[in-house]
Structure 1
Amino acid sequence: MRKESAVMGTAFREQMEQLMNRKSLLAVLVSGLMVTGVQAAGSQANGYLFGNIGQAEADGSSLAKELDGLLAAEADFWGLGFRSSFDDKDTAFKIGAGIQLNRYIGVEFQYTDLGSPEYKGSITDGVDTLTAKVSGDTDGYGMNLVGTLPFERFKLFGKVGYHKLETEASAKITDGFDTVKIKDSEEEWVTSYGVGASFAFTPQVELAAEFERYQDVADDYDVDMASVGLRYNF
């Protein structure tokens, strides 16, 4: 009986060892799969949302000179003087979403409002005054290709973009008696480029500062936009 018990005990220990070996192998396999899954998840594309607000500055000096020329010609005809001003700065903002394809390359889709530069001019004889006011409001949609140089919590990035922007121009001319209003709109595909930096408060929330230039807006002038904003990663 003792011999049989010893044999049974030996057989039981061998079965237990085999079972433990299988469990160890299973644990190794599960651990390996978990590590592989984490690594794969780290290389998958991540999305983010962003919103920026800042100031746009339109390089509309050539347009202002052209309007000055029209008023100057009218003033010279009547022997009068004129004065004018051009406000080339306005509040601007953008909102959008992006996909970070890997640590270095991303794609963004955005809506942008570049504000409205405004020209004012007037001619007066001391009694009657003719005034002219011209403005152009630009906004639209586009996309950017973004290259990122990441550090621990700090990132540097550059971007190039292509956007379909619509400029709604309006003019109002008043001579003290009558008022004439003119409106027109123009859509253009424009290119942009920009640079910026961001700082991560948490893995999800970043503060970003950017400078961008939109070229040949309304096929006439460039617009520079400096902004700050928040980015939410998910």
Structure 2
Amino acid sequence: MKNSSKLAALIALACATMMSTASAQDMAPQAPVQAQATVNPDWANTAWYMGAGVGRTRADIYNNDLANRMSAAGAPLTSFNADNRDTGYKLFVGKKFNRYIGVELGYFDLGDFSFDAGSTAGRNLRGETDFRGVNLDLVGTLPLTERLSLLARAGVQYAKARTSYSGNFLNAVSNPNPPNEGRRHAKIGVGAEFKLSEALALRAEVERYRVTDAVYNNGDVDMASVSLVYKFGRPAKVAYVAPAPAPIAEAPAPVAAPVAPAPEPVPTSEKVSIAAEALFDFDKSIVKPEGKAALDEFMAKLQGMNTEVMIAVGHTDSVGTNAYNDKLSMRRADAVKAYMVSKGLDPARLYTEGKGETQPVADNATAEGRAKNRRVTIEVVGTRTAK
């Protein structure tokens, strides 16, 4: 691997910093608050972030321009061998303006590339070039699910070329050791991003850099890379705290009274909506401890009711495809049923449904509205003794 040890150390340091920062936030003590103040993953839509990536590069330079130069110098090109692959690196920082658009500033090292050219009468020429520079890109994001998104980028980059030549036909080039030259060109790329957690994500991208070497040979360098991305400013995780039970006043001494007939049971229908963040982690369908506490409190309120049927319905916001959201809402409803059955509920009395994103109660265009739409509703039909 050519001239890469220093930049490899920077990449490793950046990745270690991101991982340690994420771990520190996960281990920080959390202040107890009410259930509606749970973490909202939409904060990441306007977050600052940093990242580091590594990948393979492939250059397409020299051939046509070099053949013309050697022919003009009286030695037509008879053989050409190029080492046009290497390892590239990049470091970057960015800012999301909303869930779809962001801007990114980066530093890149595309690696080192070389060629050996032969001509008539044993003449030969060898050249070596490396490219390093900075870029400024506009990055577009298209969410497919809560975790997976497609990426597209377009921007401008300034790459500095460092070129040197050797061999016995140096008069084919004007200067065997030309000064480092910088040129501004366009840059494009496509890729995908997968969220490992609310703050940490993994990217896979393919990018094309237009470059010019120190003697004005033009070409392209393509880089296929994998990057680790860390977003700053994640809200602290909070725990659900059930409300304290109301104090029970001491009952007065019983007074003899005529025995009244037992009241007739009256039909009762009750419906409760529990925010999905109170029950599950981001993009998960496993009930959290604070979610179990919320369900325990709900089941305690059913004491004294002869339940006939219960229906748990899962809902999602509009992020992701309809098929994905339908399955996610059903998994969450089934998880609620499984927990309530483990607490003694007759499974035959509880039915589950998944409505996906089809029944919003708020506007999905805002973060607050999407948070309200991620919920589980439980409807109970039964009889309760009249008071």
Q: TM-score, normalised by structure 1?
A: 0.69
- Give the Cα–Cα distance (whole angstroms) in 2 for the partners of residues 171 and 104 of structure 1: 46
Q: Percent identity?
A: 32
- Asked which structure has the greater RCO (Cα within 8 Å, sep 6+), the reply is 1
- Give the Cα–Cα distance (whole angstroms) in 2 for the partners of residues 69 and 191 of structure 1: 26
- Give the Cα–Cα distance (whole angstroms) in 1 for the partners of residues 164 and 49 of structure 2: 37
The offset of 1:153, in angstroms, is 0.7
Matched, 1:143 2:139: no
Q: What SS class does the counterpart of residue 42 from structure 1 fall into?
A: helix
Name the residue aligned to 1:166. Answer: 160
Matched, 1:112 2:112: no
- Give the Cα–Cα distance (whole angstroms) in 2 for the partners of residues 111 and 91 of structure 1: 15
Equivalent residues in 2 for 1:84-233, closer than 5 Å? 84-122=80-118, 130-150=123-143, 151-174=145-168, 181-218=176-213, 220-233=218-231
Q: What SS class does the counterpart of residue 67 from structure 1 fall into?
A: helix
Corresponding pairs, count: 188
Equivalent residues in 2 for 1:6-85, closer than 5 Å? 42=43, 45-60=46-61, 63-68=62-67, 82-85=78-81
Unaligned stretches of 5+ in structure 1?
1-30
The offset of 1:185, in angstroms, is 2.3
Q: What per-residue deviation string (whole Å, max 9, x for no partner) do you get for residues 89-122 of structure 1?
A: 2211111111112211111110011122211124
The offset of 1:71, in angstroms, is 5.0
**Contact residue 47 and residue 98 of structure 1 kept, 8 A:** yes
The offset of 1:135, in angstroms, is 1.9
C-alpha spacing 1:43/1:116, structure 2 compared with 1 (3 Å):
closer
**Aligned AA for 2:139?**
V
- Give the Cα–Cα distance (whole angstroms) in 2 for the partners of residues 163 and 189 of structure 1: 6
**Contact residue 168 and residue 186 of structure 1 kept, 8 A:** yes
- Give the Cα–Cα distance (whole angstroms) in 1 for the partners of residues 68 and 153 of structure 2: 38
C-alpha spacing 1:43/1:115, structure 2 compared with 1 (3 Å):
closer
Q: What SS class does the counterpart of residue 177 from structure 2 fall into?
A: strand
Unaligned stretches of 5+ in structure 2?
1-33, 170-174, 233-387
**Aligned AA for 1:140?**
G
65-74 vs 137-146, which moves further: 65-74
The offset of 1:85, in angstroms, is 0.3
**Contact residue 159 and residue 211 of structure 2 kept, 8 A:** no
Q: What SS class does the counterpart of residue 192 from structure 2 fall into?
A: strand
Q: Which has the higher strand share?
A: 1
- Give the Cα–Cα distance (whole angstroms) in 1 for the partners of residues 182 and 75 of structure 2: 33
Name the residue aligned to 1:27. Answer: none
Q: TM-score, normalised by structure 2?
A: 0.43
C-alpha spacing 1:103/1:44, structure 2 compared with 1 (3 Å):
closer
RMSD: 2.9
